[in-house]
Structure 1
Amino acid sequence: MTETLETPAAHRRVRVWFGAHPIADHTATAEQAVQYEEAMRRRFASLRVTSEPVLVDSTAEPGR
């Protein structure tokens, strides 16, 4: 049996999409990501903006 040991981090990935192509991709702390997402929604009002949690692999060695 294989288990995935991923836990949500305090970071989010914000992307701005032009169709199926991301034209901006930014990862930041949750607080900074909210501000970035709001700014991108204002700047690119007609484009899709997504914000997703960044998962951290809890089995990875620190610094890798």
Structure 2
Amino acid sequence: MTETLETPATHRRVRVWFGAHPIADHTTSVEQAGQYEEAMRRRFASLRVTSEPVLVGMAEQ
């Protein structure tokens, strides 16, 4: 999923991964996503944490 100029992301999806399996999946506003991502990186220091844009209309799904 890519972010375009026409449809800016209003939310981000933050996930914590154990190998190929997400063990935490949280969608939140762009403002709160940064704080949540930092907290997950501290709590799960050895696991991969990703943050991806969620396009307008996709956040409710």
What band does the TM-score fall into relative to the shorter chain? 0.7 to 0.9
- The letter for the 2-side match of 1:7 is T
Could you tell me how far apart the structure 2 residues matched to 1:25 and 1:8 are? 21
- The letter for the 2-side match of 1:22 is P
Instruction: Give the share of equivalent positions with the same residue, in percent.
Output: 85
TM-score (norm 1): 0.75
> Which whole-Å deviations, capped at 9, do the CAs of 1:10-60 have from their partners, x for residues lacking one?
100000000000000000001111010000000000000000000135xxx
- The letter for the 2-side match of 1:35 is Q
**Structure 2, unaligned runs of 5 or more:** 1-5
Correspondence 1:32 to 2:32 = yes
- The letter for the 1-side match of 2:48 is R
**Structure 1, unaligned runs of 5 or more:** 1-5, 58-62
| Larger Rg computed on CA atoms | 1
More strand by share: 1
Question: What residue in structure 2 maps to residue 45 of structure 1?
Answer: 45
